[in-house]
Structure 1
Amino acid sequence: MAAHVADTHEMIRVHGARENNLKDVSLELPKRRLTVFTGVSGSGKSSLVFATIAAESQRLINETYSAFLQGFMPTVARPDVDLLDGLTTAIIVDQERMGANPRSTVGTATDANAMLRILFSREGDPYVGPPNAFSFNTASVSASGAITVDRGAERTRAEKVTFTRAGGMCPRCEGRGAVTDVDLGALYDETKSLNEGALTIPGYSMDGWYGRIFRQCGYFDPDKPIRDYGTRERHDLLYREPTKIKVEGINLTYAGLVPSIQKSFLSKDREAMQPHVRAFVDRAVTFTTCPDCDGTRLSEAARSSRIDGVSIADACAMQISDLAVWVRGLDRPAVGPLLGALGDTLDSFVDIGLGYLSLDRPAGTLSGGEAQRTKMIRHLGSSLTDVTYVFDEPTIGLHPHDIDRMNDLLLALRDKGNTVLVVEHKPETIAIADHVVDLGPGAGSAGGEVVFEGTLEQLRGADTLTGRHLDDRARLKDTVRAPTGVVEVRGAATHNLRDVDVDVPLGVLVAVTGVAGSGKSSLVHGSLARRDDVVAIDQGAIKGSRRSNPATYTGLLEPIRKAFAKANGVKPALFSANSDGACPVCKGSGVIETDLATMAGTATPCEECEGKRFEASVLEYTFGGPEDPRDISQVLAMSVAEAESFFGSGSAKVLAAHRILSRLVDVGLGYVTLGQPLTTLSGGERQRLKLAAQMGDAATGVLVLDEPTTGLHLADVENLLALLDRLVDAGRSVVVIEHHQAVMAHADWIIDLGPGAGHDGGLVVFEGTPAALVADRSTLTGQHLAAYVGSQPPA
């Protein structure tokens, strides 16, 4: 009995996991070891690691807090699993982009800025105040008040004094580093009155609350054209500060258009806006560097305080690798422990391959891989042990040269006595695992099972997709395509690029390579992608509601709805869950959501439609003929691969739908269901979905892809290469930013940037064929590609 208890303390036990596509999965994971989870995209890796193990750990931790505190925490529902035992505190280090908050920077997202502020508040000359005096998120405040003064023999009396709180925020730009100028002509049509719909701002309809406020505020005549307004009326319409008013007996706040726009639109991250709002902001608002603080976000006082001639603004603008050297060189015994901690944090950035960043870099501009590695910083120096760290493809965005350093960090976390769970596709990281769990055998409904557990060597001999492809190596092509022309890039100086001149060949497959931070994205997105004939496809979120799915996004649902309508003699709108065919109870969402306050909310299938989203009468209409009739909900539940077969033959043949489905299969999304919410797709899946939609356009111009191998299993990389070949052969010029050696080897031309990252990069260090790069071996990329294809190992 004692031995059994000891064993359970050494294992995380999962029994009967059924989250998403998991099929009653049971397994035991060794604690204080590094376990890598492998399998094709959609096989169930994330469902097991994130949606089951990590989710339950976080849910149980949240339940230890009071109901009051839980009300401020994100609610986590219990995963669909029979038993989870032996869990420890889980820390998730994922690839979610950091912060839609425009005030968040690399420095504020870690402890680095906080330590710098303390340093300058203690050692800066002249002294300007406590740490908040160096914070661009804290404003200076002055206020008057009364205090009681005891005059001893005199009577006690009150005196009026002024209280001040020093903050480091630039008063002009309010700590944003940029000032805005609003084009008033984009806010309204001055030939119309308000009642005639003069306002052209999204959401400012005269039919809603804004209309009632503007019509009844009393500051101007809503029936008078705006061009006829007097000075006072125009000022009140545009600039009046928030003022309490009463409309229809309700106390409300009125504010002019400009302060209203600043509050409702400009306080949000542009990328988080809905497309029509973003288009309005781009049209109506211009952003320029603040002339008072020169973009540093800091007040003059904060910038005036220096240590050895360096201000906090100078320090935050330094490349982190340089800042680490500066901090280590300071001889300030009074703050020795602080300098040591700050130096360790900055060294962690360098160790993790982010030394090229600066602390003033907006957090929202980091890629998913950079964001994930930045989140790691706070854990590397932690004294916690027996924690479960959960990583989602930590090698994304890393050059082969940097993967070794990432592996060292993962092993260091394990060696401190922690359990490390990693979802990964790269053989280099699978190779360091103590234990491997392979899921499959396929994706979606064809996956969800554990098909292998064991060591790396055992995996090599396993008859699974991962085992069979673990040692795959792409070959250099015997012949490469000849370019049909070039795009000339001259004097490129975006970010760290150093006046780069380069010719990008057309009509071929071009790989842009180099270590993270070498300037690849700056060259491609800052110069090439700005051309009118270039289409750039990234991994960013696809705007839309949770009702959006692959069928709606690609336009696939349109020919399907028309086919259903024609076959049944009814209108197409019946076959939309967002239109006439929606279930009247759940309004087409398929679930009934219940807010349980401090507890996790519930989303239960709608009893009326049983989660099918459609009105019952709509589901009586079928399509596909007597041999295989399907209703619209059954079609949306199909995987892409199943639907391609269904709509490609027999009485269910719909050519327009089949063409779209074939493209989705081509990009490796055959396992995704047609009705799967877009919000559940990974970054790599989003990029491939965008690519499939783009493939329907005429095959001309330049197509730019940013790391298209992200999230792809080893077995799928070969399919991607075939797809890239088909795009080029059909007339596209394809440029990929890529770290995967298989893509480099398969390219017709390579543009390698470097030699290092940040100010150590920004140059084109090689242009030519992959074979020439391997023969040259003068760059880090060349050395690693040579090792990959079986030549000389990297230095």
Structure 2
Amino acid sequence: MPTPATDIIRVLGAREHNLRNISIEIPKNKITVFTGVSGSGKSSIVFDTIAVESQRQLYATFPAFILNFLPRYERPHAEAIENLTAPVIIDQKAVGGGPRSTVGTMTDIYALIRALFARFGSPSTGLVYDYSFNTPQGMCPECDGLGMSVTVDPDKLVDRSKSLNEGAILLTGYAVGSGDWQLYGNSGRFDLNKKLADYSDEEWHDLLHGTGGKVELTFNKGTWKANYEGLADKFTRSRVKRDTSGLSEKTREQIQKYLTEGVCPACNGARLNEKALATEIGGRNIAEWTRLQITDLLEVLGEVTDPAARGLIDATRVALGRVVDIGLGYLSLDRPTATLSGGEGQRLKMIKHLGSTLVGMTYIFDEPSVGLHPRDVGRLNHMLEALRDKGNTVLVVEHDPDVIQIADHIVDVGPRAGAHGGEIMFTGTFDELRRAETLTGQALRRPFAVKEIFRAATGELAVDNATSHNLKNVSARIPTGILTAVTGVAGSGKSSLIRAEFMKRYPESVFVDQSAIAASSRSTPATYLGLMDPIRKLFAKATGEAAGLFSFNSDGACKECEGRGVIITEVAYMDPVTTHCESCDGRRFSERVLALTLRGKSIADVLEMSAETAVEFFPEKALNAKLRTMIEVGLDYLSLGQAMSTLSGGERQRIKLATQLQNSGSVYVLDEPTTGLHMSDVDTLLRLMDGLVERGNTVIVIEHNLDVVAHADWVIDLGPDGGKNGGEIVFTGTPAQLLRDPDSLTGQYLRLYKDGAAVRG
């Protein structure tokens, strides 16, 4: 019986990014997994075509007033996208939410807990908002509900050995004579030539905390009278007591260097005032409830015996149970969301939607298995199946074969990446994919093997008596000169041992993770790797022009689009209209610059080159070596001019690694480098890590991928489980020894893969 036309999402002639005018039909109310190598075009189909158009059409139904507060999306490059439903996009972007956001507030479970304490606590205020650290009624007045006492360190704000005229104020923007400096220099309160070390107690207090009176500030365009405010108080108000989550990493670091941080002495980190903390259930206040590991909190719920509380208790138990079911039972409700990994954040986003009674939605996931031990992937799969079984369409971009296996329908994109991708190579079932001659099909058929011959360590790096987070006074010996994998389920203590403890003891180690790269919106791989300056100099030498002319951020930019390649027009509440710049044909440079060539190629031609093409074009030794690092880390398909903001977490990590590859005698720490990697690309990563070791480096990798674990020379496995049930080293030795270990969960799954019980067998 044929499928009704409306039961299929249909995409016709999609051309976003590297997509080659593809057409595709995706069944509704099924799980469809999109596979293919990194850069093949999976995300271009799912996120940049289907998700964007779904959001664009949904938002078009909202009133103009609402539209003004929503992001605006342009129509994707496709002939038609039909039969869409309302989208729910669950990606790996940082959860954010600022310093007030916790696991409890994000999942709305804290609201249930507050209701319990308001109605059934003793003594109770009866008001739910009295137990919120985000309201004046409930927050600790000392720390404003942050739980941390962040104070300005006066000795970091000023240099006491200098006078105001000598530049005693160390804050950025307070140069002598500047507007901010004049607030103190023009106040008439201080001897401008007197060293701060000689100030009386009154003068010192006035400088840092004084108030009252107006100060006339002089600028080029006139004068302005401002209220006097002490230096420390002004900095605290304008820079500290505000949400810094939207600031750049560099700006946050600049603020942080003037601060001293500690647990709030008034509430001892509980965030709440004395009145809220006085209410107890079963001998515990609300802060003590939220500090408990979620699995323990489930048990504590049983202490509420009032029959009237049964409804709230049951609702709370169901919500907490969802957190446990997805493998995050080791978290506590007071855990700040800013401390969550991308995978943890994505799974918590899932939990919010699992409680929804909406059906007929399209749920879109970006590699939901990130950060998951093989033990926990089964839990993730149950969640995906539950969403489908409620009557929703589930679209998943994924590399993990255990997730791919549960798909009702699979779309394999390729054949390779970048200009060599953008085509639909296969559609069908998992069993059909395993027989297909695509890179994914070949990888699924590949036998799984555990390494038998291991390198010998040249020494060891000690970590003794580690107690960060859930670590239970752990001591470890990490061998040097070889590849060590640090493994364990989520929450077992891997990151605590390596990121918190090891890096603190060995700060000279090169730590490479997937965090955002501090760069401008116009940054590209060419600028990040330091390629642009030598490239511009080559063009300057060949053409006799100034090197600065060959920058789309400078004189060489197209005047019409200002070096963007497109012209963006904002029209009231409508979607922004982005049009191709006819003046430069979207190539960012002026006509004069585009006419200047090096070896027959313009600067725009060079920026459009992939790394694999550019390495042949530039024989110059230094330039060629840097380009080869992109190929070595598996980014041969990236164009030199691609915006850094479009790179995935895994691509960001690998391009960071590319800047470090020429070192020797270093210690490299890699945090889940297989994130975003296709199974066939893992071999490239393994060769890269082997190359680092062979050049005399030590490589430590925090990893769940069993291909990497099986290839390591040494394994340190933490556990046995997560949270309070983890924090111990359960195994150290070679992968071959781990294979025979009866107690390690990682060893258990190594055996399953080797014996063919898992999908690669």
**Residue in 2 that maps onto 1:74:** 71
1:406 counterpart = 2:403: no
Q: 1:567 to 1:360 in 2, by over 3 A?
A: same
CA distance in 2, matches of 1:733, 1:260: 47
Matches within 5 A, 1:341-360: 341-360=315-334
For the 8 Å contact 1:202–1:276, the answer to whether it is kept is: no
For the 8 Å contact 1:296–1:313, the answer to whether it is kept is: yes
**Residue in 2 that maps onto 1:161:** none
For the 8 Å contact 1:219–1:236, the answer to whether it is kept is: no
Q: Secondary structure at the match of 2:24?
A: strand
The structure 2 residue matched to 1:286, chosen from 255, 260, 266, is 260
Q: Secondary structure at the match of 1:489?
A: strand
CA distance in 2, matches of 1:777, 1:474: 20
CA distance in 2, matches of 1:355, 1:679: 33
Alpha-carbon shift at residue 260 of structure 1 (Å):
3.2
**Residue in 2 that maps onto 1:297:** 271
Q: 1:576 to 1:462 in 2, by over 3 A?
A: same
Alpha-carbon shift at residue 500 of structure 1 (Å):
0.5
CA distance in 2, matches of 1:237, 1:588: 46
Matches within 5 A, 1:245-644: 248=222, 255-267=229-241, 273-274=247-248, 276-530=250-504, 531-624=506-599, 629-644=600-615
Alpha-carbon shift at residue 589 of structure 1 (Å):
3.6
Alpha-carbon shift at residue 305 of structure 1 (Å):
0.4
Deviation per CA, 1:513-549, whole angstroms, max 9, x where unpaired?
A: 0000000000011111221331111110111111111
The structure 1 residue matched to 2:703, chosen from 738, 741, 760, is 738
Letter in 1 for 2:520: S
Q: Secondary structure at the match of 2:11?
A: strand
**Residue in 2 that maps onto 1:718:** 683
For the 8 Å contact 1:507–1:734, the answer to whether it is kept is: yes
Ranges in structure 2 where 5+ consecutive residues have no aligned partner: none
* Aligned Cα root-mean-square deviation (Å): 2.5
Deviation per CA, 1:316-344, whole angstroms, max 9, x where unpaired?
A: 10001111121244222212211111111
The structure 1 residue matched to 2:666, chosen from 701, 712, 715, is 701
Letter in 2 for 1:630: K
For the 8 Å contact 2:343–2:371, the answer to whether it is kept is: yes
Q: 1:246 to 1:439 in 2, by over 3 A?
A: farther
CA distance in 2, matches of 1:58, 1:436: 23
Q: Secondary structure at the match of 1:765?
A: strand
**Residue in 2 that maps onto 1:691:** 657
Deviation per CA, 1:686-741, whole angstroms, max 9, x where unpaired?
A: 11111111113x21221000111000011101111111111101111000010011
Aligned length: 753
Alpha-carbon shift at residue 496 of structure 1 (Å):
0.3
The structure 2 residue matched to 1:32, chosen from 14, 24, 29, is 29
Deviates more, 1:120-129 or 1:508-517: 120-129
Q: 1:576 to 1:243 in 2, by over 3 A?
A: farther
Letter in 2 for 1:433: A
For the 8 Å contact 2:415–2:425, the answer to whether it is kept is: yes
CA distance in 2, matches of 1:404, 1:455: 19
Q: TM-score, normalised by structure 2?
A: 0.94
Letter in 2 for 1:436: I
Q: 1:739 to 1:257 in 2, by over 3 A?
A: same
CA distance in 2, matches of 1:260, 1:368: 35
For the 8 Å contact 1:38–1:466, the answer to whether it is kept is: yes
The structure 2 residue matched to 1:656, chosen from 622, 635, 658, is 622
Q: Secondary structure at the match of 1:617?
A: helix
For the 8 Å contact 2:96–2:245, the answer to whether it is kept is: no
CA distance in 2, matches of 1:690, 1:482: 28
Q: Secondary structure at the match of 1:265?
A: helix
CA distance in 2, matches of 1:186, 1:273: 21
For the 8 Å contact 2:375–2:745, the answer to whether it is kept is: yes
Ranges in structure 1 where 5+ consecutive residues have no aligned partner: 140-166, 648-652
1:90 counterpart = 2:87: yes
**Residue in 1 that maps onto 2:736:** 771
Alpha-carbon shift at residue 63 of structure 1 (Å):
1.5
CA distance in 2, matches of 1:553, 1:603: 27
Deviation per CA, 1:139-170, whole angstroms, max 9, x where unpaired?
A: 1xxxxxxxxxxxxxxxxxxxxxxxxxxx1111
For the 8 Å contact 1:559–1:654, the answer to whether it is kept is: no
Alpha-carbon shift at residue 14 of structure 1 (Å):
0.9
Q: 1:440 to 1:255 in 2, by over 3 A?
A: farther
The structure 2 residue matched to 1:181, chosen from 146, 151, 154, is 151
For the 8 Å contact 2:152–2:236, the answer to whether it is kept is: no
The structure 1 residue matched to 2:112, chosen from 111, 115, 122, is 115
CA distance in 2, matches of 1:667, 1:774: 29
CA distance in 1, matches of 2:139, 2:544: 65
Alpha-carbon shift at residue 619 of structure 1 (Å):
2.8
Letter in 2 for 1:704: V
CA distance in 2, matches of 1:778, 1:299: 45
CA distance in 2, matches of 1:422, 1:558: 40
CA distance in 1, matches of 2:193, 2:135: 43
1:782 counterpart = 2:752: no
Q: 1:619 to 1:237 in 2, by over 3 A?
A: farther
Deviation per CA, 1:158-212, whole angstroms, max 9, x where unpaired?
A: xxxxxxxxx1111111111111232223324456676775543234567876467
Alpha-carbon shift at residue 577 of structure 1 (Å):
2.7
1:759 counterpart = 2:730: no
The structure 1 residue matched to 2:647, chosen from 661, 681, 688, is 681
Alpha-carbon shift at residue 596 of structure 1 (Å):
3.0
For the 8 Å contact 2:98–2:244, the answer to whether it is kept is: no
For the 8 Å contact 1:20–1:47, the answer to whether it is kept is: yes
CA distance in 2, matches of 1:712, 1:99: 25
Matches within 5 A, 1:151-166: none
CA distance in 2, matches of 1:689, 1:271: 25
Report sequence identity in percent: 49
Q: Secondary structure at the match of 1:527?
A: helix
Q: Secondary structure at the match of 1:371?
A: helix
Deviation per CA, 1:234-276, whole angstroms, max 9, x where unpaired?
A: 5555334698888647686664432332244324667764454
Q: 1:278 to 1:73 in 2, by over 3 A?
A: closer
For the 8 Å contact 2:74–2:578, the answer to whether it is kept is: no
For the 8 Å contact 1:16–1:25, the answer to whether it is kept is: yes
Deviation per CA, 1:643-693, whole angstroms, max 9, x where unpaired?
A: 12221xxxxx22111111111111111111111111111111111111111
Alpha-carbon shift at residue 232 of structure 1 (Å):
6.8
CA distance in 2, matches of 1:196, 1:436: 69
Deviates more, 1:548-557 or 1:760-769: 548-557
Q: TM-score, normalised by structure 1?
A: 0.90
For the 8 Å contact 2:666–2:697, the answer to whether it is kept is: yes
Q: Secondary structure at the match of 2:410?
A: strand
Alpha-carbon shift at residue 230 of structure 1 (Å):
7.3
Alpha-carbon shift at residue 571 of structure 1 (Å):
3.4
Q: 1:346 to 1:41 in 2, by over 3 A?
A: same
